[in-house]
Chains A and B, each alone.
Chain A
Amino acid sequence: MSFDFICSRDRILLDVPYQIWEAQSADGGLNVFLTRLFHNKLLFYGSNFFRCYLSYFSPDFIARVFTIFGLIFFLLGVWYLISRKKRFLAILFLLVPLSPLFQIPDTVSVQAGILFSGFGLVMIFGLVSAVKSVLALRN
């Protein structure tokens, strides 16, 4: 499977009426309370949002933007981010994929650049930390 959808605000919001209609029809004669319990707006909006949000952290997506060296420094960056508790950087990194929510849908072409910025940030952080660690070893 390839990374086949670009996430946008519309993707999260406009699919929901159809999803609800589909689920209601599939339930057929089931008790209305149960149908509401298992298929409701909150669930659909929530899962659409998380699906969109997490798709940026998908390994297929990350592998697509990095070379092998980039990937190594990116993973190092993530490791340092967590183990050294760099809160601010981590929050920035985790918030970048929210950008499509605040973006006009027509500007999809810019999206890739904005999204990459978060990964680039972490990769450079990984690179810098690695260099620092090596220098620290020499002293």
Chain B
Amino acid sequence: MKKSLLLALGVVLLLAAILRLFKITDDPPGLYPDEVAIGYNAYSILKTGRDEWGNSYPLLFRSYGDYKLPVYIYLTAAFEDFLGPTDLAVRLPSALAGIIAVVGSFFLAQEIFFLIKREADPRAVNLYSLIVALLLATSSWHIQFSRAGFEANLALTFVILGTWLFLSALRNNIRFLPLSAIFFVTSLYTYHSERIFVPPLLLVLFLLFRKTLLKRPKIFVATCLVSLLLAAPILALTFSGEGLARLKTESIFNESGPVWENFQTNYLANFSPDYLFFHGDQNGRHSVKKIGELYLWQLPFFLLGTYALLNKRSKAGVIVFSWLLLAAVPSAITRVSPHALRGLLMVLPFEIICAFGLWVFVAKFPKWLIIGLGSLAVYEFLIYLHIYYVHYPVAYAADWEAGQEQTALYLRSREDHYGQIFVHPNLSPVYLLFYLPYDPRALQAANHDLSTLGKYQYHNLYTQPVKADSAKKSLIVVPPNIISADRPGKIREIKMTGGNPAFEIYEF
């Protein structure tokens, strides 16, 4: 690669890294329950080789009964080996995956471009790929999920790398094909959406490149067999009771009304301009809500890119559009739609198409217009950063369960002075487990009984808390507004970011 290209790519990567790592433990303002569960299961695996329920190196983690997929948890375990059970250890894998995805998108974009124009000018290819990488690096959709422990983000990275290696293997050296297969198989073990998305995508890729693939039948058949063998456990588990547990509670088959109509409404909702360009996912953890999943300035380029790409009638168009259309399926067959997390795979085709529109635009239009539009894009990006760093941590603190972590850490620092600590169920046990951290062996030995964790006792709401040893002082943790000011002895009030009370702690 040329020096100038390396420099440009380096700048994009630096930008991606800053956007994904700056204040990563403070904003989003707390770990949400799934992240904490991932963190504690990873800790448990690291210390005992078993998950919190006592299963030895499981392929599906029972957790809350939602049966989490394994890759993110094992990866977090590796990070916790160095960083301990901390927020950073849970979030870093996702953030790094986000940065790698930006690199991957650069190389994938190159392959896509070569499919459009076989004898392309290297400068054009590099410009196009840099635009794709820059768009993904600054995408609010991708940043949102890179900054917290979301398995979907890691899975997206695997799919990007898998597709890049697949196309690269076909263009350069078919021996890389097995490597691509490994990434695709890993993605199946990482997030639920991929199990619905990857098989049809591979079918599309096979149909497009069947001639090239069948020219080297040995490598092709061997790759297929090995990946089927590697994927067999997860496919078998998908159709077992445990694997279906999540699907049963979440799918549209559980929704009232005709299934096809629900599917259609849910599917199309993923393409509604209101969702994509104005308000985003209405779950406070999935977007900042005040701007869309994509920036509004991207809309004309998305339309231009769609038109230009369709007009080229190349294999690239087939890959990109089938990726886009397939990626909306996972959120369409579940009840909440549009769903930015289950539909995270859509972010890449959107950016690729939009970048193509930009690339066409840059080649055809005068410089002053490009600079004007560029400053508009920067302005919108600054608005996003302002909302993300100023509004978001305050407004959506409750969505991220802010206050749970601070309470658990405060209790940990004071526990030596007290005989017992009575905890109200609003302080979720998994936060205590993770932040104390509670010895996983003890939990496994107690058959995952969460009512008593050493000194900590979850109090039954129907009876008064009674001290076992009346000579020793105890603590009691309750949510605000349960105990009035009549009762003295409040020693601490834990607040969320922005000042709303989360928990009160009394001594008695």
Residues of A within 8 A of B (CB): 1-3, 26-27, 30, 34, 37-38, 43, 47, 50-51, 54-55, 57-60, 63, 82-83
Q: Which of B265, B271, B277 contacts A2 (CB 8 A)?
A: B265
Closest B residue to A51 using CB positions = B278
Cβ A26 vs Cβ B264 within 8 A = no
Cβ B268 vs Cβ A63 within 8 A = yes
Cβ A1 vs Cβ B278 within 8 A = no
Q: Which of A1, A34, A63 contacts B338 (CB 8 A)?
A: A1
**Interface of chain B: mostly helix, strand, loop or mixed:** helix
B395 CB contacts on chain A under 8 angstroms? 26
A60 CB contacts on chain B under 8 angstroms? 265, 268-269, 272
Query: Hey, what's the 0/1 contact readout for B390-416 against A, CB within 8 Å counting as 1?
Result: 110011000000000000000000000
**Interface of chain A: mostly helix, strand, loop or mixed:** helix
Cβ A59 vs Cβ B394 within 8 A = no
Cβ A47 vs Cβ B391 within 8 A = no
| Chain B contacts with A in 290-320, Cβ cutoff 8 A | 296, 299, 307, 311
A38 CB contacts on chain B under 8 angstroms? 382-383, 386-387
Knowing that A1-B272, A1-B338, A26-B395 are A-B contacts, what are 15 other residue pairs whose CB atoms are under 8 Å apart, sorted by A's residue number? Answer: A1-B275, A2-B265, A26-B391, A26-B394, A30-B390, A38-B387, A47-B278, A50-B296, A54-B274, A55-B272, A58-B273, A59-B268, A60-B269, A60-B272, A63-B264
A43 CB contacts on chain B under 8 angstroms? 383
Q: Which of B271, B307, B337, B387 contacts A82 (CB 8 A)?
A: B307
The distance from the CB of A38 to the nearest CB of chain B, in whole angstroms, is 5
Residues of B within 8 A of A (CB): 264-265, 268-269, 271-275, 277-279, 282, 296, 299, 307, 311, 337-338, 382-383, 386-387, 390-391, 394-395
Complexed CA–CA distance, A3 and B391 (Å):
27
Q: Which of A30, A37, A59 contacts B272 (CB 8 A)?
A: A59
Cβ B390 vs Cβ A27 within 8 A = yes
Closest B residue to A79 using CB positions = B310
- The 10 A-B pairs at the shortest CB distance, nearest first, are namely A54-B273, A59-B268, A58-B272, A51-B278, A38-B386, A59-B271, A1-B269, A60-B268, A26-B391, A38-B383
Best-buried of B275, B296, B311, B386 by chain A (most CB within 10 Å): B386
Complexed CA–CA distance, A3 and B274 (Å):
9
A50 CB contacts on chain B under 8 angstroms? 277-278, 296
Best-buried of B269, B273, B296, B390 by chain A (most CB within 10 Å): B273
Cβ B386 vs Cβ A1 within 8 A = no
A27 CB contacts on chain B under 8 angstroms? 390-391
Given A38-B386, A60-B268, CB of A55 within 8 Å of CB of B274:
yes
The distance from the CB of A67 to the nearest CB of chain B, in whole angstroms, is 12
A-B contact pairs, 5 of them (CB 8 A): A37-B382, A54-B273, A58-B271, A59-B271, A59-B272
Given A2-B265, A38-B382, CB of A47 within 8 Å of CB of B296:
yes
Closest B residue to A30 using CB positions = B390
The distance from the CB of A85 to the nearest CB of chain B, in whole angstroms, is 12
Best-buried of A2, A3, A60 by chain B (most CB within 10 Å): A60
